[in-house]
Amino acid sequence: MIGYIEKIKQISERLLKEGTVESVVGFRKGSMPMMNEPCIVKRPDKVEALVWDSNCGINLTNYLTNRKDKIAVIAKGCDSRNIVTHIIENKIKRDQLYIIGVPCKGMIDKRKVSGLAEGEITSVSEDGDAILVKGNGFEKTVRKSDILQDNCAICVHRNPVIYDELAGDLVEEQKDVNRYEDIEKIEAMAPAEKWAYFEELLSPCTRCYACRNACPLCYCPTCFVDESKPQWVGKSQNDMDIRTFHFLRAYHCAGRCTDCGACERACPQGINVRQFTKKLEKDCLELFGWEAGMTLDERPPLDTFKADDPEAFIK
């Protein structure tokens, strides 16, 4: 992953010099281990600030919404699928974009790494699959595959599906992955058990909306929870209001979610919010054979109709 950065800088510098694009959206180095900061570079002499490593889990498509400029973006497999969705949903035009594709072997889950040591993690460096984690009086090398974000561990579209140029060779896709093991467990629960499970899952939620705001799909000018004329959802820590937010947000993402994991990564409380969106992703795959963001040529299942729809009520 680290090897891509020189190529990314070269491409970015060239695009900015040639005037192909006005800006490049990428990451710059963060101030903490396992954190990089999304940034925008507008001058060729500033591309040195760009970084690429296994800590670029935030989905950069989120920064493209409604932009009017010609813009380059660095896109992993999942980001590229969200770019496709953005283009289909008219949030950006294909000809405004220069997509620098990055074949991806997954992003590091900072919570899993933090769990390796009692104290603070002070540095994390990577060399291929070997991740060297250091803390106060602590040093350990772990395999990257053991500390991947959950969504990356089960990712089957690591290569960008749409790009103008690649920053590295395509990688082998993971096969024979059961993407829905966790969802199957929840599906097997009795209703009361499910209720208790979700209650427990959402109990730490403060409704900071980091999950929603990190999501490239959540671009509504006014989210339903922010509607005030009239107000639809209460603002307190009432559990019903918290549930309403999470359930409805998931439904709004049905057939659009690429399981990029930005929501879960962003959650300051570490809630597995993907459990909701994944259930709908699973349904879309099973009912409609649909995976979001794989092609520009087809409308997503919830905004189209087909005569062979599997649901009887709609025929």
Partner 1 sequence: MKIVKINKKNWAEGLDSLAGSYSLSGPVKENGYHNFKKLNKGELPDFDFLNTKLSSKSFVFPQSEVMLEYSLDETADDHHIMKEVKKDYSKRAVVGMRPCDAKALMLVKMNFDTADYQDPYWLNAFNATTFVGLACDNPESTCFCTSAGCGPYHEDGLDVLLSDAGDHYIAKALTQKGEELLSAAKWQESADASVMDKKKAEAEAQIASTVKTDQLKKKATLDLHSASFWDDIAFACINCGTCTYACPTCWCFDIQDETKGNKGIRMKNWDTCMSPLFTLHTTGHNPRGDKTQRVRQRFMHKLKYFVDKYDKGIMCVGCGRCIRQCPVNIDIRSICDKMNRYEPAEQSE
Contacts to partner 1 by CB under 8 A? 30-32, 35-40, 58, 62-63, 111, 114-115, 118-120, 122, 136, 204, 206-210, 212-214, 226, 228-229, 234-238, 265-270
Residue number with CB closer to partner 1 (28 or 70): 28
306 vs 272, 293, 303, 314, CA distance in Å?
A: 33, 19, 10, 10
Least Å from the CB of residue 203 to partner 1: 9
Residue number with CB closer to partner 1 (180 or 197): 197
**What is the end-to-end Cα distance of the chain in Å, rounded?**
48
Cis peptide before 230 (omega within 30 of 0): yes
**Residue 82 and residue 100: Cα distance in Å, rounded?**
14
Specify whether the CB–CB gap between 126 and 2 falls below 8 A. yes
Which DSSP string do the residues of 182-212 spell out, in sequence order? HHHHHHTS-HHHHHHHHHHHHTT-----HHH
Least Å from the CB of residue 134 to partner 1: 12
Residue number with CB closer to partner 1 (140 or 299): 140
Least Å from the CB of residue 45 to partner 1: 12
Least Å from the CB of residue 296 to partner 1: 26
**Residue 100 and residue 169: Cα distance in Å, rounded?**
12
> In terms of Cα–Cα distance, which of 18, 19, 16, 35 is closest to 27?
35
Residue number with CB closer to partner 1 (108 or 284): 108
Least Å from the CB of residue 41 to partner 1: 10
Residue number with CB closer to partner 1 (155 or 214): 214
Residue number with CB closer to partner 1 (38 or 168): 38
Q: Identify the helix (H) or strand (E) that includes residue 18.
A: helix 4-18
Angle at 131 between CA 129 and CA 135, to 5 degrees: 175
Residue number with CB closer to partner 1 (141 or 203): 203
Least Å from the CB of residue 9 to partner 1: 17
Angle 191-202/239-252 helices, nearest 10 degrees? Answer: 100
Residue number with CB closer to partner 1 (7 or 111): 111
One-letter amino acid of 258: T
Residue number with CB closer to partner 1 (34 or 284): 34
Farthest-apart Cα atoms in the chain, separation: 65
The owner of tokens 């909306």 is 209
Least Å from the CB of residue 268 to partner 1: 4
> In terms of Cα–Cα distance, which of 123, 99, 111 is closest to 26?
99
DSSP conformation class of 148: B
Least Å from the CB of residue 259 to partner 1: 17
> In terms of Cα–Cα distance, which of 102, 116, 94, 88 is closest to 50?
102
**Residue 11 and residue 211: Cα distance in Å, rounded?**
31
Least Å from the CB of residue 103 to partner 1: 24
